[in-house]
Structure 1
Amino acid sequence: MRRAHQRWGARRISFELSRTGLDPGPSRATVHRVLVRNGLVDPHAQQRKRAWNRWERDAPMQLWQLDIVDGMRLPNGRQCKIVTGLDDHSRFAVVAAVVARPTGKAICAAFTAAMDRYGEPEEVLTDNGKQFTGRHTKPMPVEVLFERICRQRGIVQRLTKIRSPTTTGKVERFHHSLQQEFLNHCAPFPDLPSAQAALDGWVDAYNTRRPHQSLDMATPATRFHRPVIAAAATLRQPSRPQRPAAASVPALAELRAVELHLSVPPSGALSLAGRQLVWVGKAFAGRTVHLWADQRSIHLAVAGEHLKTVPSRLSIDDLHQLTARGGRAAGPTPAASALHPDDALGATAVQVHRTANRDGNVQLAGQRIQLGADYAGQRITLRMDGHLLHVIADDHLARTLPSPVPADQRGRLVGAQRVDTPLPPPRGGAPAVRRRVPADGVTMVAGQRLRIGRVHAGKTVTIAVEDTHYRAYYDGEELGAYPQTGKPAVRVTRTAHRAGQTPVRPACPDNEPSTIS
């Protein structure tokens, strides 16, 4: 067996002999001594084992580990990449896709295809590659396509530390087996479909027939429960993903809500059922406010305009007391629910409302955010989603900045609310220019080189100029986002649209081309 399978060790040979019907089969130590005696194992060449802090999820589909590896060769000498993914609990290979170029779109296509087949995992763990995260993009972080898919599907994305490959050790060990058992013995493939078909055959054997030592010589498929997962996947609707609610948040239908009108006292604070004080402000003394309350949230509105949302400490009996004061059964909630400090946020976006001071600045978690004098005195909405902070004013997206508040501390912000509505559009849309892509695939905007790609040579693309980066579009499809690394784009000059020219994408609302320097 050892001569036929050079990579089989004593444990694997002992297991294979027991499968042939030997009872009892030779122990692992016996097999090792036989191999040493016949010169098939050098006892001095054994690697010294290191002590690792091992961990594993309790059940399948709780965590997937994803990565990219080299290996596939074509006759022209080109090296293709392989997108790999492993279920953490079962070591089941859920992703194994050959791609010509490891672009973000190709990686996301392989990821979504795996989710359509097996279902959506609760979490996904990757390294800090630019295909997986825009957290380290310079000069400003951005949200890449992979992060957007995780956010929209409610998947918690986890990243390893910089230069820490052992965190994704399971998928790295899968790469070692892939290289030793498959790639080292393959000649160049004629094309990508042939390479993918050969890889699928090896992965099927890895999942269903090859015993795994870390699983006590069981196959990954026996721990993955593939039939159950596949049946569940057929019932999913991946085209309309929904964000899962946190386990600690009760459904609104199970709560009794009350709404009523109250007059603000001279102190500026409303007393609700003798249990909770809600600060409105002395500036509203004598005015009537509309109050909507349940056991989770308290919403206040003045003259039909939402004023604030605070967590509720009211009980069912307190809601009955408010009913006795003139309240009535409430209608739908007027705003997003409040957050409590102990809520599990997961991939949920969080927003707070603040009023800009006379200098156009707002305070968030003790840090000052400068918006500009144009926003002085305005009510500003700050939405934190992932590692980004979106500033919303007058129902328009004003700008996007790095979030100064970690995700695990956002529930403690005053007035924090859950939000799952899409971001509003920027005011007036982003200025845009048109460029014809040259043969080398690189075009210039404001003195910065944008690598659109040789495959788009000869096309006329639209480039939207946003606060921190450029976005290239062609026929309504986004080709890529490019952080602004040079001087900022200033002096935006719009010219009249000439007849016969292709209109600009709606990123420029008046369909007029722009000249940007």
Structure 2
Amino acid sequence: MSHANAALTPRARLRLARLIVDQGWTYATAAKMFMVAAKTARKWAERYRAEGPAGMADRSSRPRRSPAKTLPGVVRRIVRLRWRHRLGPVQIAGRLGVPASTVHAVLVRCRINRLSRIDRVTGEPLRNQRRYEHPHPGALLHVDVTKFGNIPDGGGWRYLGKQQGDKNKAVTALRTGRTAKGHPNIGTAFVHTVIDDHSRLAYAEICTDERAATAIGVLQRAVAWFADHGVTVERVLSDNGSCYRSYAWHDACTELGIIPKRTRPYRPQTNGKIERFHRTLADGWAYARFYEATDQRNAALPRWLHFYNHHRPHSSIGGQPPITRLTNVPGHHI
């Protein structure tokens, strides 16, 4: 389609061509009238002679051959990783060994370069927030709890379908004695997560509840784990869950020399980095493949965390894994 400021629309081209072909005008005279080059007038006249009025329509500028075009097999792999794992161009490029710019071009061409910008839980649109980042590792830790249903023996409904998944759930509930009021209940995995604001280095534990004592134990072990990596924790940011509002949580933070902070109520965007990590955790670990039981999924978490911290390119820190940012630890070069 002609752009808004085009000198010749399809209708004007037809008038130009008819003046030359039907009325015998010279190329130069007709071109002058329409304020275009004589070469342009000749082009449209020749198309009119060959194709008639149909030749006045716009044509694609796409080349007949594209030797450097991405191979169809690579395109399919890029699309598959995008849809199944919701990976970005940097992560897909790292897996396939192609430039991130090539991956982005493929995603744009396939019209899947932007994932839906809505909250998965509420369905509400997420407003764009100005990205902030604390100056060094340990300046702020984000903490939270995310939940995943336990997997019945033989696998769950996500991979086997609702009917078979419900059968496996019922059998597992009978084996474990967790049937309540006639409804099978195989329990929930509470994954306590901790992520460093500056480096995105992550720590996680699978627990059976989200009580204050459990959250405090996770924090203590996380602080020790970060200390082993040369990171001294200064502040911790949580939501307003009951475990984080307790006096025990505040006292534990004081004993560790950490300043506890909480987000404003109903403002999950404030703790957005760990909310986004939960999506990555779900896509990369919890729902990444078929698990035959909860224990199998639990056993895969340490391996995935190592991959996330040491090998997975992170788009918000320049396409590098989080561990590479620990070179900015205060006193590291002393």
TM-score interval, normalised by the smaller of the two chains = 0.5 to 0.7
Is residue 2:196 matched to residue 1:87? yes
1:222 and 2:222 are equivalent in the alignment:
no
Residues 105, 225 of structure 1: alpha-carbon distance in 2 compared, 3 angstrom cutoff: farther
Identity of aligned residues (%): 29
Which residue matches 2:143? Answer: 66
Q: Which residue of 2 aligns with 1:158?
A: 261
1:197 paired residue number:
299
Relative to 1, partners in 2 of residues 1:129 and 1:50: Cα closer, same or farther, differing over 3 Å?
closer
Aligned mates of 1:204, 1:174 — CA distance in 2:
14
Q: Distance in 2 between matches of 1:88 and 1:130?
A: 23
CA RMSD of the aligned region, Å?
Answer: 3.0
How much does 1:117 deviate?
2.3
Q: For residues 46 and 107 of structure 1, what CA distance do their matches in structure 2 show? A: 32
Aligned length: 209
Q: Does 1:8 pair with 2:87?
A: yes
What SS class does the counterpart of residue 190 from structure 2 fall into? strand
Distance 1:73 1:122, change over 3 A: same
2:238 maps to which of 126, 151, 154: 126
Would you say the 8 A contact 2:142–2:194 is kept in 1?
A: yes
**Within the alignment, does 1:109 sit opposite 2:181 as a pair?**
no
* Whole-angstrom distance in 1 between the partners of 2:265 and 2:234: 23
Question: 1:55 & 1:128 partners in 2: Cα distance?
Answer: 21
TM-score by length of 1: 0.37
1:189 to 1:81, Cα distance in 2 relative to 1, 3 A? farther
Counterpart mapping for 1:183-262 below 5 A:
183-187=286-290, 190=293, 194-225=296-327
For 1:174, the equivalent position in structure 2 comes to 277
Alignment partner, residue 148 of structure 1: 251
Aligned CA distance change for structure 1 residues 74 and 52 (closer, same or farther; 3 Å): same
Which residue number corresponds to residue 51 of structure 1? 128
Tell me the CA shift for residue 99 of structure 1.
Answer: 0.6
- What residue ranges of structure 2 are gaps of 5+ in the alignment? 1-76, 118-124, 153-172, 174-185
Structure 2 counterpart SS, 1:221:
helix
* TM value normalised by structure 2: 0.55
Correspondence list, 1:455-494, <5 A: none
**Paired residue type of 1:88:** D
Higher percent of residues as helix: 2
Report the Cα offset of residue 97 of structure 1. 0.5
Does the 8 Å contact 2:88/2:315 carry over to 1?
Answer: no
Compute the displacement of 1:175 (Å). 0.3
| Cα deviation 1:483-508 (Å, max 9, x = unaligned) | xxxxxxxxxxxxxxxxxxxxxxxxxx
SS in 1 for 2:132: coil
CA distance in 2, matches of 1:178, 1:3: 20
Deviation at 1:5, TM superposition (A): 1.9
User: Could you say if the C-alpha distance between residues 128 and 5 of structure 1 is closer, same or farther in structure 2, counting changes exceeding 3 Å?
Assistant: same
Q: Is the 8 A contact 1:2 1:8 kept in 2?
A: no
Q: CA deviation at 1:103?
A: 1.5
CA distance in structure 1 between the aligned counterparts of 2:305 and 2:270, rounded to whole angstroms: 23
Q: Please report how far the alpha carbon of residue 33 of structure 1 lies from its aligned counterpart in structure 2 after TM superposition.
A: 3.7
Distance 2:114 2:138 in 1: 41
Alpha-carbon distance in 2 for matches of 1:85, 1:186: 24
Cα deviations by residue, 1:197-237 (Å, 9 ceiling, x for unpaired)? 311111111101100000010100111359x89x9xxxxxx
Please give the alpha-carbon distance, in whole angstroms, between the structure 2 residues aligned to 1:191 and 1:15: 29
Indicate whether 1:34 and 2:106 are aligned.
Answer: yes
Secondary structure in 2 aligned to 1:218?
coil
Q: 1:377-407: CA deviations, max 9, x gaps?
A: xxxxxxxxxxxxxxxxxxxxxxxxxxxxxxx
CA distance in 1, matches of 2:266, 2:193: 19
Decide which moves more: 161-170 or 42-51. 42-51
After superposition, residues 395-414 of structure 1 pair within 5 angstroms as none
Task: Please state whether the residue corresponding to 2:81 is helix, strand or coil.
Answer: coil
Distance in 2 separating the partners of 1:44 and 1:162 = 29
For 2:276 and 2:258, the matched residues in 1 are separated by 24
Query: Which residue identity lines up with residue 122 of structure 1 in the other structure?
Result: E
Cα deviation, residue 179, structure 1: 1.1
Query: How far is the alpha carbon of 1:106 from its aligned partner?
Result: 1.3
More strand per residue: 1
Q: Which amino acid aligns with 1:34?
A: V
Q: Give the whole-Å Cα distance in 1 for the aligned partners of 2:273 and 2:139.
A: 14
What SS does the corresponding residue of 2:204 show, helix, strand or coil?
strand
Amino acid at match of 1:99: C
Change (3 A) 1:32 1:117: closer
Q: Secondary structure at the match of 1:182?
A: helix
Measured in 2, the distance between the counterparts of 1:152 and 1:35 equals: 49
Asked if the contact 2:142–2:197 (Cα under 8 Å) also holds between the matched residues in 1, the reply is: yes
What secondary structure is seen at the aligned counterpart in 1 of 2:78? Answer: coil
Code of the residue aligned with 1:8 in structure 2: it is L
Cα pair 2:78 2:103 within 8 Å, conserved? no
Q: Aligned partner of 2:236: which letter?
A: V
**8 A Cα contact 2:78 2:92, kept in partner:** yes
* Distance in 2 separating the partners of 1:49 and 1:157: 26
Conserved? CA contact 1:72–1:188, under 8 Å: no
Asked whether the 8 Å contact 1:97–1:110 carries over to 2, the reply is: yes
